Structure 1
Amino acid sequence: MSHSAHGAIPVISATGLFTPSDTISNAELVASFNAYADRYNAAHPDTEPLTHSSVEFVEKASGIKSRHVMDKTAILDPDIMEPRYAERPNDQISLMAEIGVAACRDALAKAGRDIADVDAVLCAASNMQRAYPAMAVEIQHELGMERGFGFDMNVACSSATFGIQTAADYIRSGNARSVLVVNPEITSGHLNWRDRDSHFIFGDVATAILVEA
């Protein structure tokens, strides 16, 4: 980047969003959990029985009424109760990178920008599907980015805010004029759907933030 960019003021010029088409309502979630609890209690008569959940309990505990997930069917099946994804070969884009690309394209379209205008892609997420190659590199490749750089950041729940701060620092230092921060999260795969006290908390989403000088 040119020296004239040094000291530029970073701004968020656009945001992008991807949400899965599948949603799970509290009523569906509770019905699935209660069916599991009944089966567990019948199979373990000598242990402390699992307590039923309710829509009222979930909404009072969390304020959440529904959540988006990548795979609804397997999660709600009392015999499975976890998402199931087909394994992808290494030469195919990972699922998290794929939804990240969708969010990036949304942000670029809203800003009226092309990927050629972007200097860097930072993929900041609480969990990483692939350690190598970086999901940021997968996203760059899928978007057709021919220059610039990209890397992943993993700072647990603060990944998105650290990513935005890092992008802003690149802008201020003059090392970039346009940075895409993308946050793909498939937290449904890390949630214990058999736990009455926490199975309602997380869903799946990808967001993108275009930070520019």
Structure 2
Amino acid sequence: MTLRAVVKGVGHYLPERVVPNSEFEASLDTTDEWIKSRSGIERRHFAADGQTTSDLATHAAQAALDNAGLQANDIDAIVLATSTADLTFPSAATMVQHALGMTRGFAFDVQAVCAGFVFALANANALILSGQANRVLVIGAETFSRIMDWTDRGTCVLFGDGAGAVILEAAEGQGLASDQGILSTDLNSDGRHRDILYVDGGTSTQTTGHLRMQGKEVFRHAVEKLASTAHTAMQKAGVTASDVDWIVPHQANLRIIKSTAQKISVPMDRVIVTVQDHGNTSAASIPLALSVGVQNGQIRPGDLLVTEAIGGGLAWGSVVVRW
């Protein structure tokens, strides 16, 4: 018998306000066509005034609980991936724990920027395999609109707000690639590349700061590292690209998604793409794409999925999971 962390439920939440590319034309030297041609993004959602990351996360978490037919106190742990927590501390995860009415277990945040959800999944998987928890609620949630420099057309048009969540549950497997649940994980980081994607605020400046990015450098690293981590995770799981039903990538840029899929040798009709509707929602992008993929009838039980993401740090990784 092999213990597996199996997906029990999934859900997502997007703020009501939809911001089309055209909305930026009044304040920036940009156009809808310029944004679409460089990123594939057509619209994104922005949180309302007073709406926090933990608010979005709570909505997504409740949707996942409803989907799984569970109550908050059926959950042993919450792992929340975010770079835009409501406060420096306490963690946004404990705020979600309280908002859900969960009075047991434990909750904590993971910060690996756009790779955060992959890191959170790997941590949740480890909690289950080690016996620390039986059910783990894994959330990715962001309000990146709060850290944008609205004069920088190279960054502010790319990001959006949202949240997605999955519930993992311990289950017995046979130790085979045909098992349901997480089959492998692969995590990486390299702090030498800090300056190509970062926020220029924090305790060192006593400001929230704004996101800064060297887009060309990020693109150069992204495709190679995403393809490499996906291959490593597939090798660990004992599967090949031909076995994969869906690639569910971090939704940063359509050109990165297409280039990575080509490098992995997976056709685009087997890639879940939501970047056109959500923009880059950082740690929320993969769980959002998973939930939308299920909602649209694309992802079905038994499907083999590969998720991969890269973010500031640089931090990158991937997870192979059978739905």
TM-score interval w.r.t. the shorter chain?
0.7 to 0.9
Q: Distance in 1 between matches of 2:98 and 2:40?
A: 39
Q: Distance in 1 between matches of 2:123 and 2:10?
A: 16
Secondary structure of the residue aligned to 2:25 is: helix
Counterpart in 2 of 1:39?
A: none
Partner deviation per Cα, 1:5-37 (whole Å, 9 max, x = no partner): x9521112221111011011111222332xxxx
Q: Distance in 1 between matches of 2:33 and 2:58?
A: 37
Counterpart in 1 of 2:43?
A: 66
Percent identity between matched residues is: 34
Secondary structure of the residue aligned to 2:137 is: strand
Counterpart in 1 of 2:74?
A: 117
For the pair 1:17 / 2:5, whether they are aligned, the reply is no
Offset at 1:140?
A: 0.8
Gaps of 5+ in 1: 1-5, 34-51, 72-84, 87-93
For the pair 1:200 / 2:157, whether they are aligned, the reply is yes
For the pair 1:174 / 2:151, whether they are aligned, the reply is no
Counterpart in 2 of 1:210?
A: 167
Partner deviation per Cα, 1:100-130 (whole Å, 9 max, x = no partner): 1111000000011111210001111123221
Contact 2:54-2:85 within 8 A present in 1 as well? no
Counterpart in 1 of 2:92?
A: 135
Offset at 1:171?
A: 1.0
Residue number among 23, 39, 53 corresponding to 2:30 in the alignment: 53
Match for 1:126: what amino acid? S
Match for 2:38: what amino acid? A
| Mapping for residues 37-116 of structure 1, pairs under 5 Å | 52-71=29-48, 85-86=49-50, 95-116=52-73
Q: Distance in 2 between matches of 1:95 and 1:199?
A: 19
Query: What is the alpha-carbon root mean square deviation over aligned residues?
Result: 1.7
Q: Distance in 1 between matches of 2:167 and 2:105?
A: 15
Match for 1:111: what amino acid? A
Q: Which has the larger radius of gyration?
A: 1
Gaps of 5+ in 2: 171-323
Counterpart in 2 of 1:38?
A: none
Counterpart in 1 of 2:112?
A: 155
For the pair 1:29 / 2:6, whether they are aligned, the reply is no
Q: Distance in 1 between matches of 2:73 and 2:13?
A: 22
Contact 2:39-2:158 within 8 A present in 1 as well? yes
Q: Distance in 2 between matches of 1:14 and 1:212?
A: 9
Secondary structure of the residue aligned to 2:151 is: coil
Partner deviation per Cα, 1:113-158 (whole Å, 9 max, x = no partner): 1112100011111232212222111111111112111111111221
Q: Say which structure, 1 or 2, has more relative contact order (CA 8 Å, 6+ apart).
A: 1
Contact 2:4-2:129 within 8 A present in 1 as well? yes
Counterpart in 2 of 1:42?
A: none
Secondary structure of the residue aligned to 2:7 is: strand
Partner deviation per Cα, 1:30-58 (whole Å, 9 max, x = no partner): 2332xxxxxxxxxxxxxxxxxx3122111
- 4+ runs of 1 displaced by more than 6 Å? none
Contact 1:128-1:154 within 8 A present in 2 as well? no
Counterpart in 2 of 1:144?
A: 101
Q: How many residues align?
A: 170
Contact 1:7-1:171 within 8 A present in 2 as well? no
Contact 2:53-2:84 within 8 A present in 1 as well? no
Larger strand fraction of residues: 2
TM-score (norm 2): 0.50
